Structure 1
Amino acid sequence: MRYYVLEGTFSTKITDETVLQKAINEHLEYLKNGFNDGSILVSGPKVGTGGGIIVVKCKDIDKFCNDDPLVKAGVQEYRISEFKLHDCQSYLKDWFKE
């Protein structure tokens, strides 16, 4: 399994608040799937700007990002940073097991 930090940034071309809210609602449902299957460790919006942060483990990060409703709607782009675990709090060790 590979580990990633995703930084989402909203597009500056968003003009329709209805489209934005629909995409956000679908995005939150999409993330629920990741929490339910254990692939997402944390997620949340960035303070003071559009977009958010996700820590995820997966085999195909491009598919994960491209399937996100915010990306499909053209609302958000992701900056992807892969990392290898060096150390973590003991209560997180199970999440990082392969």
Structure 2
Amino acid sequence: MFILELSYTATLDRIDVELADHIAWVRSHIESGTFLVAGRKVPREGGFILAVGDDRAEIEALVATDPFLLAGLAEYRVSEFIATTTAPALDGFRQQLPA
């Protein structure tokens, strides 16, 4: 599982110009099942996405297609973790530690 941390590198005026495209990008990956949760940071300086996947390179390649990143308005930090403990609603995403 991955935590994708998005940090704006541009003003909110410039972010707002690309916001609809970014939201459409996020929603498409929510619908595909790759993203589980997404939302803004408070204060509004970026956002977080919880993503599922087995291959860090694939997730990083996916992140590279974000309209915010393509427009040079943000940067990402990708953190991988093993979800060994989950709420009941997320039991299907529980992972085992490697042997």
- TM bin, normalised by shorter chain, reads 0.7 to 0.9
Whichever structure has more helix as a proportion of its residues is: 2
Moved more, 38-47 or 20-29: 20-29
Give the match for residue 73 of structure 1.
Answer: 71
Whichever structure has more strand as a proportion of its residues is: 1
CA RMSD of aligned residues (A): 1.9
Partner SS, residue 93 of structure 1:
helix
Return the TM-score normalized by structure 1: 0.83
Q: For structure 1, which runs of at least 5 residues remain unmatched after alignment? A: none
Amino acid at match of 1:34: H
Q: For structure 2, which runs of at least 5 residues remain unmatched after alignment? A: none
How many residues are paired up? 92
Kindly report structure 1 stretches of 4+ aligned residues shifted beyond 6 Å: none
- Name the structure, 1 or 2, with higher relative contact order (CA <8 Å, separation 6+): 1
Amino acid at match of 1:56: A
Return the TM-score normalized by structure 2: 0.83
Partner SS, residue 88 of structure 1:
coil
Give the % identical residues.
28
